[in-house]
Amino acid sequence: MKNSLDILIIGAGIGGLTTALSLHEIGLKSRIFEQAKEIRPLGVGINLLPHSIRELTELGLQKNLRGIGVEIDELRFYTQYGLEIQRESRGIKAGYKWPQFSIHRGELQMLLYKAVQQRLGSDCIRTAQTAVDLTQNNDKVSVSFKDSNTGQNLTTQEADIVIAADGIHSTIRKKYYPEEGKPIYGGINLWRGITWQESFLSGQTMILAGALKTGKMVIYPISQPNKEGKTLINWVAEVKTDSYKNNEWNRSGRMEDFAHLYAGWQFDWLNVPLMIENAEQIFEYPMVDRDPINCWNFGRVVLLGDSAHPMYSIGANGAGQAILDARTLAGFLKSLDNPLDALKAYEANRIPTTSAVVEANRGDGPDHLLEIVAERAPEPVDDIHSIITQKEIDDIGSKYKKITGYDRETLNNRDSIVI
Ligand SMILES: Cc1cc2nc3c(=O)[nH]c(=O)nc-3n(C[C@H](O)[C@H](O)[C@H](O)COP(=O)(O)OP(=O)(O)OC[C@H]3O[C@@H](n4cnc5c(N)ncnc54)[C@H](O)[C@@H]3O)c2cc1C
């Protein structure tokens, strides 16, 4: 019975595509409807922690990821003056059974898209179809679509289950939470860029530096070296300000709005002003999220990924939590006889974790270390331990890992979610 379920996924982003692959793995068919006119490699860098790499590995994709991403093996924290605060191993080097990868978001989406086409057939993803509404009765959900090119109404699609993976501006979430309004701005604006240049430090290092008040930076490589030996470096300037624009992933950013904050950041391991100056692309995006909600499942409809729990892009969890949602949903659909019970079980399992990540990213994320240090030492100091103990530093990191399901012992020893 379950094998004949007709499942419709709205949105071919990271969450929607991983869901289709995971359903296929357990023998369930799905169809994806995407509003974009074509699937193109949009965005800049993202990080995938071992918890989500475990899931993509179980989907047989680790080798492909290795071909396009970079295995991050250390994370370093610096003050705005270039003093090292903390250095920690990541991924396999830190004892996880799975690596951490940094990768171009668009390349990741294309990798998942191709895998879906190969495994489910090229006709399972329909583009230029914008979901506008849905209705349901005891047996079916009917979703209405518009043609993204012409705006004309398209044939209504019927399905047994609808998974809404339609991102931070989710139409389906809005249907169930009509009063919610726009995503919430927390006072931090982002300029995200990519630059081809020589790699820095180990070539597999991720950097968090500075502090929000004076300008913070997250920097990591996202490609293998090109023919000239240059690597694509992803950087994000995070600045505390009341001034911001609506969140659109592809809004261009201007160097003159933020580069002056980093003028003095010429360190022996990286020339930050030069990196900003040589950017291929710069986007401006406000750090936004939404308050956690306590219901994702409405009869035969369920929310997944950013539509369910949009979060600040802190701590490398946005894409990862969408991947974990997809796997958890597939796991329950596999283990429970009644698919509607599986939707409920998925919701009950995922809401507590993802709500805790949303909350932690608002204040208690790993980056919190930088704020503590900047507050205690607004002027340069010679010895970091004169202002913060190693125990305090370690406690901040381990607390966040526990919240996000990325704690090493838990992850290494728990059973697979799907297999
Ligand atoms: C164009 C784009 C660029 C991004 N760039 C970055 C980045 O550089 N760094 C970063 O950290 N995160 C980026 N993100 C967000 C990141 O991908 C997500 O936070 C995370 O991966 C969770 O994935 P998701 O599948 O839930 O949402 P998303 O990856 O946002 O995917 C949602 C999908 O649903 C589609 N969709 C939306 N509404 C409808 C509708 N009504 N009908 C049909 N389809 C619909 C969207 O076009 C999109 O393909 C980007 C997202 C997008 C859409």
pLDDT tens digits, 73-83: 999 999 999 99
Would you state the structure tokens that stand for residue 122, as one six-digit string?
Answer: 């090229």
Of the ranges 42-46, 113-117, 379-383, 398-402, which is most confident?
113-117
Q: Do 150 and 46 touch, CB atoms closer than 8 A?
A: no
Among protein residues, the one whose CA lies closest to atom 31 of ligand 1: 13
Distance 271 CA to ligand 1 centre (A): 32
Residue 235 lies in a domain: no
Q: Which atom of ligand 1 is nearest to the CA of 170?
A: 38
Domain count, the chain: 1
| 378 secondary structure, DSSP code | S
Which structure tokens are listed for 252? 């261009």
87 lies in some domain: no
C-alpha distance from residue 157 to each of 1, 81, 233 (Å): 21, 57, 42
Question: Of all helices (H) and strands (E), which one includes residue 87?
Answer: strand 84-89
> What pLDDT digit, counting tens, does each position of 258-295 carry?
999 999 999 999 999 999 999 999 999 999 999 999 99
Question: Quick check: 406 pLDDT over 80?
Answer: no
14 domain residue, yes or no = yes
Residue 363: beta bridge partners?
A: none
Could you tell me if the CB of 305 is within 6 A of ligand 1? yes
Query: What pLDDT does residue 318 have?
Result: 92
309 lies in a domain? yes
Measured between alpha carbons, how far is 247 from 184 in angstroms, rounded to an integer? 10
**Could you tell me which residues come within 8 angstroms of residue 378 by beta carbon, excluding any fewer than 6 positions away?**
none
Identify the CA nearest to 369 among candidates 398, 401, 391, 397.
397
What does the alpha-carbon distance between residue 201 and residue 78 come to, in Å, rounded to a whole number? 13
- Cβ–ligand 1 distance for 34 under 6 Å, the answer yes
**Residue 119 resides in a domain:** yes
- pLDDT band of residue 363 (cuts 50, 70, 90) is confident
Looking at the DSSP assignment, which residues form a beta bridge with residue 239? Answer: 189
Asked if residue 33 has its Cβ within 6 Å of ligand 1, the reply is yes
**Ligand 1 pocket check: which of 251, 306, 311 to mutate, most ligand atoms within 8 Å of Cβ?**
306
Strand-pair category, 161-164 with 184-197: unpaired
Indicate whether residue 331 lines ligand 1 (CB < 6 A). no
Distance CA 258, CA 235 (A): 13
Beta strands 30-33 and 125-126, pairing class: parallel
For the record, the structure tokens of 197 come out as 């240049």
Helix 339-361 vs helix 318-335: angle between axes, to the nearest 10 degrees?
160
Domain membership flag for residue 219: no
Give me 214's structure tokens.
């004076």
Is residue 52 in some structural domain? no
Please choose, from the candidates 208, 309, 400, 315, the residue with its C-alpha nearest in 3D space to the C-alpha of residue 408.
Answer: 400
What is the average pLDDT value for the chain, to the nearest integer? 95
Could you tell me which of 11, 50, 14 has the C-alpha nearest to residue 407?
50
Structure tokens given for 267? 């360190």
Range of the domain at 110: 2-42+106-182+291-363
Residue 303: band (very low, low, confident or very high) from pLDDT cuts 50, 70, 90: very high
Question: For the domain that residue 175 is a member of, what is the CATH number?
Answer: 3.50.50.60
Nearest Cα residue to atom 35 of ligand 1? 11
Determine which residue's CA is closest to atom 29 belonging to ligand 1.
13
Quick check: CB of 339 below 6 Å from ligand 1?
no
Tokens 């490589």 sit at which residue? 221
- Cα 13 to ligand 1 centre (Å): 5
Query: Ligand 1 pocket test: which of 130, 162, 166, 173 has the largest number of ligand atoms within 8 Å of its C-beta?
Result: 166
pLDDT cut 70: percent of the chain above it:
100
* Ligand 1 lined by 253 (C-beta under 6 Å): no
313 against 298, higher pLDDT: 298
Q: Is pLDDT above 80 for 72?
A: yes
pLDDT digits (tens, 9 = 90+) for 366-401: 888 999 999 999 999 999 999 999 999 998 888 888
Dihedral class, residue 334 (left if φ above 0, else alpha if ψ from -120 to 50, else beta): alpha
Separation CA 311–CA 247 (nearest Å):
13
Pocket lining: 193 vs ligand 1, CB cutoff 6 Å: no
Q: Which of 132, 206, 249, 283 to mutate to test the pocket of ligand 1 (most atoms within 8 A of CB)?
A: 249
pLDDT-based confidence at residue 1 (cuts at 50, 70, 90): low
Q: Is the CB of 333 under 6 A from ligand 1?
A: no
Query: pTM of the predicted model, to two decimals?
Result: 0.96
Q: Is residue 222 assigned to a domain?
A: no
Give dist(CA 126, CA 139) in Å, integer: 24
> Integer distance in angstroms from the first to the last C-alpha of the chain?
20
Task: Kindly give the interhelix angle for 390-404 and 339-361, rounded to the nearest 10 degrees.
Answer: 160
CA 25: distance to chain centroid?
22
Distance from Cα 317 to the centre of ligand 1, integer Å: 14
Dist. CA 230 → ligand 1 center (Å): 28
Residue nearest to atom 52 of ligand 1 (CA): 249
* 102/219 Cα distance (integer angstroms): 10
Which residue, 94, 106, 80, is CA-closest to 51? 94
Q: Helix count (H) and strand count (E) of the chain?
A: 11, 19
Distance 116 CA to ligand 1 centre (A): 17
Q: Which atom of ligand 1 is nearest to the CA of 14?
A: 25
The helix or strand, by DSSP H or E, that contains position 185, with its residue range, turns out to be: strand 184-197
